[in-house]
C-alpha cells in the first residue's frame, strides 16, 4: 500500500460546528456541520474525487440546527473516490433560499476544491467512507479545506 493511502486525511467540506455524528438512512457514517450566518458558506471536496451525480431536492426551510431540517431544500453531490462513493449534501436553512452548485457530473475535483455555496445559515452533511476513522466530535469547530475530519485506517 502506498504512503498516500496510509496517511489519507479527509478534510471538512464546510466551516462551522459539528452538530451530529451518526449514520444516514443507508447506515453510512455521517458528519453534520452547521454553518452559522457568520461562517463562510462555501463547500469544498473532502477528498480527491469525480462528481458522479447531483440531486437537487425541494423541501422546507426549517432552521438548519434542528433535526427537522433533514427535510429542507437540499442539493446532494455524490462523489466517487478511490475509497468508495461519498455524499456531500448542501442543506438550506431558515434564511437560505439559494444553493449554488459549481460542479457538474463527470468533473474531477482535487481535495479542497470548491463545489458550491449555500447562502446564509445552513448545514452540510458528509458521509465518511469505510476504512476511515472520524477524528472530530460533536461541538468541535471546523474550517473548510483545513480541518481534518477523518483519517484512513488502512495499514
**Residues annotated catalytic, as ranges:** 122
Residues pairing with 79 in the sheet: 51, 86
Torsion angles phi and psi, residue 52, rounded to 5: -90, -45
- CA dist 131 and 77 (Å) reads 21
Grid cell of 33 as nine digits: 456541520
- CA dist 21 and 38 (Å) reads 22
- CA dist 81 and 85 (Å) reads 6
136 neighbors 149 (Cβ within 8 angstroms):
yes
113 neighbors 88 (Cβ within 8 angstroms):
no
DSSP 81: E
Amino acid at each position: 500500500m502506498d504512503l498516500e493511502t496510509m496517511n489519507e486525511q479527509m478534510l471538512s467540506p464546510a466551516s462551522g460546528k459539528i452538530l451530529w455524528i451518526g449514520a444516514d438512512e443507508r447506515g453510512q457514517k455521517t458528519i453534520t456541520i452547521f454553518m452559522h450566518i457568520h461562517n463562510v458558506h462555501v463547500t469544498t471536496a473532502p477528498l480527491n474525487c469525480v462528481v458522479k451525480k447531483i440531486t437537487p431536492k425541494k423541501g422546507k426551510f426549517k432552521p438548519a440546527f434542528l433535526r427537522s431540517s433533514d427535510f429542507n431544500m437540499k442539493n446532494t453531490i455524490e462523489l466517487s473516490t478511490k475509497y468508495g462513493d461519498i455524499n456531500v449534501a448542501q442543506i438550506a436553512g431558515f434564511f437560505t433560499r439559494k444553493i449554488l452548485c459549481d460542479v457538474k457530473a463527470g468533473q474531477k475535483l482535487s481535495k479542497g476544491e470548491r463545489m458550491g455555496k449555500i447562502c446564509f445559515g445552513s448545514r452540510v452533511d458528509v458521509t465518511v467512507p469505510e476504512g476511515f476513522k472520524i477524528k472530530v466530535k460533536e461541538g468541535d469547530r471546523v474550517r473548510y479545506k483545513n480541518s481534518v475530519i477523518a483519517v484512513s485506517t488502512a495499514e
